[in-house]
Amino acid sequence: MAKMKTDVLHAILCAAALFLCTTQAWSAEKKATVVRYEAEKAKIVNSTHKKPDAPAGCERQVFYSGKLAAGGLNTATALADVKADWSNIAYVSFTNVAAEKSGKYTVTIAYNGDDDKTILVRANNGKAQVISVPRVSGGAWDRMHKIKVTVELPAGENVLDVSGAIANTGWENIDYIEVGPAN
């Protein structure tokens, strides 16, 4: 009788372990992967920043992840005058942005510079989205903020471009972007 109880208990424990492993594997498959891309490791285009303590186009501050962010990105160019190739504005070009499959992705932009501003975001040199970024912390320049944008990406490697403030609408330094499947 004791052997039978032990066998039954063993079978129940094995079934429970199998259920837990299967459930955990299924849950892991369903979790969205979010990848961070640091601005200082991206291509910084047309930046006016030349700081002695930082690489070209970057600014050093303790509150940035990695202590660096892309700066000098703001432009006086009016929105209607932005060239299709963005050659007359400053921006950060994040290359090798991976999309596991074609679809909508959420791009979280981490920045500082707290004033109302207009920025542009585009994927793979496509049509730019005009994004209004509101003041969120009473004008404090030394706080990080985040804004989310949804973009359509094909499967594979992509390029995401994020501009600085357009038409003297404010200023921003870009610390990083995070990209993951849209909900």
Instruction: Answer with the residue of higher pLDDT: 133 or 177.
Output: 177
In this prediction, residue 158 carries a pLDDT of 98
Query: Could you give the percent of the chain with pLDDT greater than 90?
Result: 58
In this prediction, residue 107 carries a pLDDT of 98
Does residue 14 register a pLDDT over 70? no
In this prediction, residue 17 carries a pLDDT of 46
Does residue 89 register a pLDDT over 80? yes
pLDDT band of residue 116 (cuts 50, 70, 90) is confident
Lowest mean pLDDT: which of 8-22, 75-89, 102-116, 119-133? 8-22
**How large is the greatest C-alpha to C-alpha distance in the chain, in angstroms?**
87
Does residue 95 register a pLDDT over 90? yes
Instruction: Report the pLDDT averaged over residues 133-141.
Output: 78
Does residue 46 register a pLDDT over 50? yes
Q: Which residues pair with 98 in a beta bridge?
A: 157
Identify whether the C-beta of residue 150 lies closer than 8 Å to the C-beta of residue 104: yes
Instruction: Report the pLDDT averaged over residues 117-130.
Output: 96
Identify whether the C-beta of residue 91 lies closer than 8 Å to the C-beta of residue 73: yes
Please give the structure tokens belonging to residue 74: 């703001």
Query: Could you give the percent of the chain with pLDDT greater than 70?
Result: 81
Identify whether the C-beta of residue 97 lies closer than 8 Å to the C-beta of residue 157: yes
